Amino acid sequence: MSTESALKSAQAALSLKERAGAPVTLLDGGAEAYPRMLAAIASATRRVHLEVYTFEREGVGSSFLAALTAAAQRGVEVKVIIDGWGSMGESGAIQRTLRAAGAKVRVYNPLTSIFTGRAWRNHRKILLVDERVAFIGGINIGDDYRGGDGEPGWADLVLELEGDICAQLGAKLHAGRVELASGPVRVLLSGFGGGRRLRQRYLEAIAKAKTQVFLAHAYFLPDRGFMRALNRAAKRGVSVHLLLAGRSDVVFARAATMRLYRYFLRGGVHIHEWTASTLHAKAAVVDGRRLLVGSFNLDPLSLVNLETLVDVEDDGVAAQAMAWLDKHVRGARPITLGDCQRTGLQAWLLDILGLAGARMAEAFASFIGRKRLR
């Protein structure tokens, strides 16, 4: 599909959304989100703000570059922030292309910044257009998130927001640590203090749960306090389910997570592994009425990176999320204690290497945290 036809299709999708008038819409990965995001950029009249960890130039990335370039050339204020690590190898060409059209581009903490101790990342995924519509979730810009040629895209979620919350977001994008509220929607941005407030929002939701907690997390490496919170919920009769990655794009990430399986299973927590594609979601549904979704991972690094979290208390939106979770659980592999029995070599690979991966992540996050507080 050409860039022009893709933009026309996206504009049609957006017009349907506008007629529906819903302030919050849950989108299933890049396949659903990209057309709406491109349509929003194509319809921009004043301002486009994009923050993303990974921006690939090829494939769908070329459509985004074309849409952003066209917006800048027609006089829209376009600002793009990409992460120096997440977009390594792409950032130079992206800067040249967009700046030539009049857009502002910032590479957040390039690789060379590690020598000055600035190793934390901008892990946010935000598209805000005209303070009218915003997209916040877990997807980056790349073909992995939409799939193709019979292959499913990475399993992920995005929230499309409209209304007053978007105007608030536009006014506070550069204010550091922020919590915004409009009706049932809360948007949290972690600032210089990192993501501990976002973690706390999860813990508060789990502590209040009465019937069910359902988490889908790609890089699941919670601290002991978080682990105990989940097991306590299970012991008081809450049905606790974890949808986790059966395959990962990060070396040792799955091994580090699998070390925790026996603890959770013995505590009454249900575990399901998604293997049909890479799981990249960072989401939770509590009691069928509250949804948490964003870029925030339950791992040490998200505690020190710049992250986003949207907290929505709405039965309809939570029901959409539960339908997504149910679909993925039906296609996932249930994990039992029997699956945790391993040979000596397997135990070494999973426990030793997994522990090493976990400790490296914790040590790196601690190093970053100390540098940020200086």
What is the per-residue DSSP string for 124-155? Answer: --EEEETTTEEEEES--BSGGGT-BTTBPPPB
Residues 6+ apart with CB under 8 A from 316: none
* Structural contact between residues 187 and 169, judged by C-beta atoms closer than 8 angstroms: yes
Side-chain half-sphere CA neighbours of 17 within 13 A: 24
Among this protein's residues, is 17 annotated catalytic? no
Give me the catalytic one of 123, 217, 272, 328.
123
Is 123 noted as a catalytic residue in this protein?
Answer: yes
> Domain limits of the chain?
3-174, 185-353
- Give catalytic status of residue 172 as yes or no: no
Residue 360 has what pLDDT? Answer: 54
Residue of 49, 79, 125, 217 with catalytic role? 125
Q: Which member of 156, 280, 299, 328 is catalytic?
A: 280
Partners of 26 in beta bridges = 159
Selected catalytic residue, list 28, 287, 339, 351: 287
Which is catalytic among the residues 49, 83, 130, 328? 130
Active site residue 149: no
Distance in angstroms (rounded) separating the CA atoms of residues 79 and 133: 16
Annotated catalytic residue: which of 282, 299, 311, 328? 282
CA distances, 61 to each of 3, 29, 38, 152 (Å): 10, 15, 11, 18
What pLDDT does residue 254 have?
74
Provide the β-strand partners of residue 122.
306
Please state the CATH superfamily assignment of the domain spanning residues 185-353 in this structure.
Endonuclease Chain A (3.30.870.10)
Per-residue tens of pLDDT for the chain, all 374 residues: 444 444 444 444 443 344 333 489 999 999 999 999 999 999 999 999 999 999 999 999 999 999 999 999 999 999 999 999 889 889 999 999 999 999 999 999 876 666 555 667 899 999 999 999 999 999 999 999 998 888 899 999 999 999 999 999 999 998 778 999 999 999 999 976 668 999 999 999 999 999 999 999 999 999 999 999 999 999 999 999 999 999 877 756 777 788 899 999 999 999 999 999 999 999 999 999 999 999 999 988 888 899 999 999 999 999 999 999 999 999 999 999 988 876 556 555 665 555 455 455 544 445 444 445 44
Q: 3-174 falls under which CATH superfamily?
A: Endonuclease Chain A (3.30.870.10)
Burial class (CB in 10 A: 0-12, 13-18, 19+), 47: middle
* Identity at 192, one-letter amino acid code: F
pLDDT of residue 270: 98
Cα–Cα distances (Å) from 16 to 12, 22, 29, 40, 46, in that order, read 6, 11, 19, 12, 22
Asked whether the domain spanning 185-353 has the same topology as the one spanning 3-174, the reply is yes
pLDDT score for 110: 78
Kindly report the pTM of this predicted structure.
Answer: 0.87
CA dihedral 333, 334, 337, 339 (to 10 degrees): -10
Residues in the chain: 374
The pLDDT score that the predictor gives to residue 82 is: 96
